[in-house]
Structure 1
Amino acid sequence: MDMQNLNTQRATRQISALSLAVIIVLYLAHALPLYFYNVALPAILRHQGVDLRWIGMLSLLYIPWAFKFLWAPLIDRLYIKKLGKRKTWLLFTQVALVLGVLALAFTQFSYGLVVFVVIGLWISSFAATQDIAIDGYTVETFSASDYRLGSMAQSIGVALGSMLGGAATLWLYQYYGWESALVCLALMTALTMFAVFYIQENTNEQTNIAKQAPSLVRAFKRPEILSALALILCYRVVEAPAMAMLNPMLIDQKWTLAQIGLLMSVIGAGVGLLAAVSAAFLLKKIQATQLLIWVGWCRTALYGVIGAAIILGWLNQWHLLLGGFVIVMLAIRYVAMTSLYAYFMQSSSKEQAGTDFTILVCFELLVYFIGGATSGFLAKSLGYGNFYVVLAVASVVSVLLSQYIIARHQKTQQKLLNQEI
């Protein structure tokens, strides 16, 4: 009997390891082309002499990610039963992504930037749709106690996508040219498709879920979603301006594009991997909301130190000090995002996992975009030093408000639990 239990435990661990590996590869799949557009393509276009204002058009590619919640209920509702709820959309979108990257490989710079934007919108739209299915599958696959692992897998997949889709593809372009680099990217994207065939969906659970169809209205009626939206607004609005000014500040400190690429896409992604794993370990000991608060205070202290270092002229004396600050900021960000996404999973209903999770992610992106959009105006009027000091003060308010929202939601949940008992 003991031997049977041991074998069962081993099988469970193997299944969990497989599910974890599959989710990492799935998140990597759509991160590859996205980080090519986010990291590699701007540098390549600038190398080709394209005006910075036209390169800024690439920001249009984020539009599908901001509005993907509109079609998230359809992804939860429509699928081919023989394939499975999530496998249907994962296969369809993965094929579309590969075709998009291949189309990009055979696009010449002489065609004009509009062609790159149109193909990019194709890739971004299907990547956003695929993300709905992956998020839903992650929430459905893991138990509440293992959401930390699902969130860690997401962070690892995105970090690997940044390294391979961004830095590695840029290196391939530099030494082998445009077409070879993009064909290699398409091949990497195609290879990730094998992970789709290893996903393990509970078909019995799919047929026994809520009688009501997944919808946005159902999501916004849930107190868990409303509380999470309030937390996102308070917590993330301060972080966005701080992150948005990192690259301009590095440029102004005379860092080269190659150095920035190495710092952000290679070292930064490596730090992100370690931070995500560390966060998953910590989430085994404490709640996601508690870790968010701890990281929030670390973030506050870092902003204050950066502001002081700039005002006191330390960055002019020690050139690499800013690089150290960037690495610490990226580590804090990855821990925060791993914690936040674990909290998103806890707040999502398994009855419409893709819809609930997508609403939270879209709102998080919206807050992040708005916060980032204001950063340039603030930094220009205040100067980098005062800018980060102001963010440090704002972060104190942000963390205190976040603590209040979390405590209030926990009290509400406890009251509901007591009423049920």
Structure 2
Amino acid sequence: MSNLNTCVAGDQTPAIRRRHGLVLAGINALYVGFGMVMGVVNGGLPTVMRAQGIDISTAGWLYLLYLPFGLTFLWAPLIDRVRLPFLSRRVGWIVSMQLLAVLGLVVVAFNEGAAPLALFALGFAIVVAIATMDIALDALAVRLVAPDWRSTASATKLAALAGGSMIGGGVFIALAGDLGWQTTFLILGAVLVLLVCPVLVLGKQEGLAEDIRDTGNVQAGASLLRLLRDRSSCIRLVLLTVACCIMFPLVGLNRLMLVDIGVPVAEIGWIVGTLGPVSMLATSAASVALMRYLGLVHAMLVFACLAFGALVAMVIGYHLESHLIAIVGAVAIGAGVSGIYVALATKILGWAAGDQPATDYAAYYGISRFASTLMTVAATQIVPLVTWGLFYGAGAIALIVTVLFLFTLLGKND
């Protein structure tokens, strides 16, 4: 493929490093904003509502706001097929969707007393815009990041998401009551506007990276079916989806468990909402070195051991009602699963480096995310029947099975 990814392997000249530094800065600024929205949806709203007395099964339905992140594969072909009449192909989509999300946040800010269904609809629209921006951003990363830089790109993406999550899932929880509804959402919108600015300088680089085929019949024929007809791609997709359905509910519900054993919401916001992303930042730094010196598979095994230990800690913390042990487990499980997913994301960047990067990336990332979101919602309905101890105990066993799946997936040199 005749794009910038055809740089000679191992080429680490100052010009190449500067170019990739610029690319990663622009891309990761937007991943920070994406992480902020994810933090609010995944860690903020359910935790606050659970603390206000809403039962687990009802609070669990708020995770449906996460669904658009997993449904982008349905409209991702449009990003490959259609070029908006401004900026470059994917940067145009990124900017327009980010600004649409900001507009939605402004509307929400001035409608605090609106009906819950109306607010849910506004929230859903904002998430759809951010999710569409994200898949265009992922396609841009596939185009601009050379093979030798994929592990670094995956690790820095995790760091950016962690930073955003720290704001959305930590600071949001801790300060929402003090700042007030309107101020909180206006600040969130203003930050998203600032974070879109660095990507504006990448339009020229994307233009240089595009193939002649990008404006031809291949782009016009972008389709999810093209990926699903390929046997190897289907096997990857199935294994990835199974792994995410096992891992993500174990991470997504840990704050609800902390509320149930009596940990104050402010403490969850400041400690878990801050240390969780900090541990992910440490994971992003460690994963690059581990993948370089141990390889993807063995690096994944290291993080799998960390995740298993975290699940054991959460089981012990729940049964002993020990806030400290449970919090340590809640923080560590995020780091362990994040490390596993850095290895997966490195693979996905390679798998999607074809003629329809937005479509292929959305399929791998979106379908697995969609299925794991439904599994997370289902888990909130199951936990009241089986207790948190049994849930995380079974999760520890399931993690072992997951590692075997991922060992098969990452062990292939494809």
TM range (shorter): 0.7 to 0.9
Give the aligned partner of residue 70 of structure 2. Answer: 66
Structure 1 residues 136 and 149, CA gap change in structure 2 (3 angstroms): same
Whether the 8 Å CA contact 1:33–1:123 is kept in 2: the answer is: no
Structure 1 residues 121 and 244, CA gap change in structure 2 (3 angstroms): closer
- Report whether the alignment pairs 1:194 with 2:202: no
Whether the 8 Å CA contact 1:231–1:406 is kept in 2: the answer is: no
- Report whether the alignment pairs 1:143 with 2:146: yes
Structure 1 residues 376 and 124, CA gap change in structure 2 (3 angstroms): closer
Q: How far did residue 299 of structure 1 move?
A: 2.9
CA distance in 1, matches of 2:255, 2:179: 27
Whether the 8 Å CA contact 2:314–2:325 is kept in 1: the answer is: no
Rg larger in structure = 1
Structure 1: any 5+ residue segments left out of the alignment?
Answer: 1-7, 414-421
- Report whether the alignment pairs 1:273 with 2:273: no
Pick from 67, 84, 87 the counterpart of residue 88 of structure 2. Answer: 84
CA distance in 1, matches of 2:312, 2:172: 36
Deviates more, 1:66-75 or 1:220-229: 220-229
Deviates more, 1:44-53 or 1:92-101: 44-53
Give the aligned partner of residue 418 of structure 1. Answer: none
CA distance in 2, matches of 1:19, 1:306: 39
Give the aligned partner of residue 340 of structure 2. Answer: 336
* Alignment size in residue pairs: 398
SS in 2 for 1:254: coil
Deviates more, 1:286-295 or 1:261-270: 286-295
Whether the 8 Å CA contact 1:23–1:150 is kept in 2: the answer is: no
Give the aligned partner of residue 247 of structure 1. Answer: 255
1:395 is matched by which residue type in structure 2? L
Deviations along 1:250-284, one digit per CA (max 9) or x if unpaired, are 12221011111123321111111111121123222
Scaled by the length of structure 2, what TM-score is found? 0.86
Give the aligned partner of residue 371 of structure 1. Answer: 375
CA distance in 1, matches of 2:157, 2:90: 16
Pick from 189, 206, 209 the counterpart of residue 210 of structure 2. Answer: 206
Give the aligned partner of residue 225 of structure 2. Answer: 217
Scaled by the length of structure 1, what TM-score is found? 0.84
Pick from 361, 370, 374 the counterpart of residue 365 of structure 2. Answer: 361
Structure 1 residues 223 and 203, CA gap change in structure 2 (3 angstroms): farther
Pick from 236, 239, 242 the counterpart of residue 231 of structure 1. Answer: 239
Q: How far did residue 45 of structure 1 move?
A: 6.1
Whether the 8 Å CA contact 1:89–1:130 is kept in 2: the answer is: yes
- Report whether the alignment pairs 1:173 with 2:176: yes
Q: How far did residue 141 of structure 1 move?
A: 0.9
Whether the 8 Å CA contact 2:69–2:370 is kept in 1: the answer is: no
Structure 2: any 5+ residue segments left out of the alignment?
Answer: 1-11
Whether the 8 Å CA contact 1:28–1:158 is kept in 2: the answer is: yes
Pick from 129, 133, 136 the counterpart of residue 130 of structure 1. Answer: 133
Give the aligned partner of residue 160 of structure 1. Answer: 163
Give the aligned partner of residue 4 of structure 1. Answer: none
Whether the 8 Å CA contact 2:43–2:255 is kept in 1: the answer is: no
Give the aligned partner of residue 384 of structure 1. Answer: 388
Give the aligned partner of residue 296 of structure 2. Answer: 288
CA distance in 2, matches of 1:53, 1:379: 8
- Report whether the alignment pairs 1:349 with 2:353: yes
Write the mapping of 1:91-110 to structure 2, written as runs, cut at 5 A.
91-109=95-113
Q: How far did residue 247 of structure 1 move?
A: 2.1
Whether the 8 Å CA contact 1:96–1:126 is kept in 2: the answer is: yes
Structure 1 residues 99 and 81, CA gap change in structure 2 (3 angstroms): closer
Give the aligned partner of residue 271 of structure 2. Answer: 263
Q: How far did residue 145 of structure 1 move?
A: 2.0
CA distance in 2, matches of 1:134, 1:126: 12
Deviations along 1:33-70, one digit per CA (max 9) or x if unpaired, are 44334444456667888898776553332232222101
CA distance in 2, matches of 1:372, 1:341: 21
1:264 is matched by which residue type in structure 2? V
Give the aligned partner of residue 324 of structure 1. Answer: 328
SS in 2 for 1:351: coil
CA distance in 2, matches of 1:171, 1:256: 11
> Identical aligned pairs, as a percentage?
23
Deviations along 1:194-236, one digit per CA (max 9) or x if unpaired, are 1121225342442423642321122223344223213213422
Taking only aligned residues, the RMSD between alpha carbons, in angstroms, comes to 2.8
Structure 1 residues 186 and 350, CA gap change in structure 2 (3 angstroms): same
Deviates more, 1:320-329 or 1:276-285: 276-285
Q: How far did residue 170 of structure 1 move?
A: 4.1
1:156 is matched by which residue type in structure 2? A
Give the aligned partner of residue 416 of structure 1. Answer: none
CA distance in 1, matches of 2:399, 2:50: 35
